[in-house]
Amino acid sequence: MSGTFEPASKATARYNCIAFAAGDERHWWEGEGNGGRYSWPSRIRRVTTVETVCEIFVSEGFVETQNCEIEPGYEKVAIYAHLDTCEFSHVARSDGTVWKSKLGKGQDIHHYSLDVLEGDQSDEYGIVERILRRRIS
Amino acid sequence: MLHRPPRRAGGFRSRKASKPRHLRARANQRDRIQAMPIIFNVRGPVFVSEQAPLPSGAAVGGIPVFRANAGRSEALRKAFREQVEQWKSDTQHWSSVTKMLAHPSYLRIIGLARLSTGYEIERLLLQELEAEPDHWFDALVAITGENPVKPDYDFDSSVDAWLNWGRQKGIVSN
C-alpha cells in the first residue's frame, strides 16, 4: 500500500470488508458461504462478485456514481476488482468524512483516497470498479 | 582331483539364476528396499531411515526431510509452524475464506494429520486457534471428522465450540 492511511482497529478474522462496509462487525460475509456458514443477504445470489456486492448496496438505497471523492452528506461504497481476473477483491466505505476499509483478516484502516489500496501487490486490491452513494439521513 | 558335475545344456548359470523365478523376484525386492531410504510421506515432510544418505534437516524439492526416529514430534511442530506462517502471510488481506481454504499451506496442514499420533495435530491447531483465532474450522472438521459448530454460530461462538471440544477430549487444558 502507498499513500496516507491510519489503523483503526486490531486485526481480526471475525469479519471481512463486505461485512464491515455493510455495518456488521460480528460476521464474515461471503456468498459462497461454505454450506451457509457465512452471512449473506438472503435476497442476493450466493456468489461473491462485483455485481452481487453491488446489488447488496443497491438494495440498501445506494446508487452508482462516478465521483470517487469523499462527499460530505453522502455515504459511499467503493468496490474493487483484481486487475488480472476482474474478480471482486475489496469494498471500502465512506461516512462522508473519510474512507474506511477492513483489510481481509487484518485491521480496519482510515484512508483519504481510494488509490491507497489500488495496485497489484499482495496487500493491494486491484482497481476501483464501482462507486455507489446514498444521502446520509 | 575335484569332481565337477557336468555342465548343463544352455551354458553357465549363476547362483541367482539357479533359484526359481518367484524367489528371485523376492530377493531382488529385498535388495532394493535395503538400498532405498524408507519414505513415509512423499507429499512432505519426508521421513527417512538412518541408513539414508540425506542429512537431517535437508530438503528435497522444497519438502523438508527428517529422520524417522529423531524428534518426530518436533519435526511435526516445525512443519506445522512453517505452513501456518506461510498461510497467514499469504492470506492476511484476503476477503474470501473459500480461497483461503484452497491455499496449498492450508491443505498441507490438513495433510500433516497423517504424520500425527494421538491428538498432536489437533492440539497444535487448537492452540493456534486459541492464541490467534482464524478460520481453522474446516481443517479441524477434515482432520477430526467431527463438528461441534452449530449452523447459527458466529465466528467467536465457533472458536469457543472447538476449544470446548478440545477440553472435553483432554486435548487442550482449561
Query: Amino acid identity, residue B141?
Result: V
| Residue B18: predicted pLDDT | 55
Measured in angstroms, the CA of B30 and the nearest CA of chain A are apart by 48
Question: Closest to B95 (Cβ–Cβ): which among A14, A16, A34?
Answer: A16
Residue A93's pLDDT is 97
Quote the pLDDT of residue A78. Answer: 98
Environment class of A73 (CB within 10 Å of its CB; exposed 0-12, middle 13-18, buried 19+) = exposed
CA of B34 to nearest chain A CA: how many angstroms apart? 47
Average pLDDT over residues A54-66: 97
Residues of chain A with Cβ-Cβ distance to B91 below 8 Å are: 104-105
Does the predicted TM-score (pTM) go above 0.95?
no
Q: Distance from B98 to chain A by nearest Cα, in Å?
A: 7
CA–CA gap between residue A85 and residue A88 (Å, rounded): 9
- Count how many domains chain A has: 1
Regions of chain B short of the pLDDT cut 70? 1-70
Q: Give the Cα separation of A47 and A84 in Å (integer).
A: 19
**Residue-level pLDDT at B151:** 86
pLDDT of residue A3: 63
Q: Which domain holds residue A55?
A: 5-135
Q: Is the pLDDT of residue A85 over 90?
A: yes
CA dihedral defined by B23, B27, B28, B31, rounded to 10 degrees?
Answer: 170
Four-CA torsion B47, B84, A18, A95, nearest 10 degrees: -160
Sheet (strand B63-67) strand order: B46-48, B63-67, B59-60
- Check if A48 contacts B (Cβ < 8 Å): yes
pLDDT for res B33: 42
Interface residue A36 vs chain B (CB under 8 A): yes
- Using a CB-CB cut-off of 8 Å, the residues of chain A touching B151 are 36-37
Q: How many of the other CB atoms lie within 10 Å of CB of A97?
A: 11
